[in-house]
């Protein structure tokens, strides 16, 4: 375990509120990273996706970098523009 993970684990143990907000923030961050990786894997730029979705590049950047504010319908349009499908799961 590296030092950062040890610090995070220690803070989570000391502060349940930190643990909850950290985990929620991490999941939102992860969504944006997954979207960007999916876009890059098919060789498209943010401009390319924006054109397919009939929007602008700043909207695509917002989706990838601030995914906590993104509606499910927008995620579905984004993945359709990639030629992919959006799958959700509840665990």
CA atoms within 13 A on the CB side of 39: 22
The pTM assigned to this predicted structure is 0.70
- Residues in contact with 28: Cβ distance below 8 Å, sequence separation at least 6, in sequence order: 67, 68
pLDDT at residue 20, as a whole number = 81
64 closest CA partner among 83, 44, 78? 78
Which position has the token pair 């995070």?
8
Higher pLDDT, residue 47 or 71: 47
Q: Could you tell me the pLDDT band of residue 1, with boundaries at 50, 70 and 90?
A: low
In tens, the pLDDT along 18-69 reads 888 887 777 777 888 889 999 999 999 999 999 999 999 999 998 898 876 7
Domains in the chain and their CATH numbers?
A: 3-81 (1.10.260.40)
């Amino acid at each position: 375990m590296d030092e950062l993970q040890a610090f995070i684990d220690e803070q989570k143990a000391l502060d349940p509120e930190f643990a909850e907000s950290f985990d929620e923030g991490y999941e939102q961050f992860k969504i944006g990273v997954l979207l960007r990786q999916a876009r890059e894997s098919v060789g498209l730029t943010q401009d390319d996706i924006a054109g397919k979705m009939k929007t602008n590049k700043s909207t695509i950047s917002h989706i990838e970098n601030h995914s906590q504010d993104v509606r499910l319908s927008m995620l579905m349009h984004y993945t359709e523009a990639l030629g992919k499908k959006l799958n959700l799961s509840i665990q």
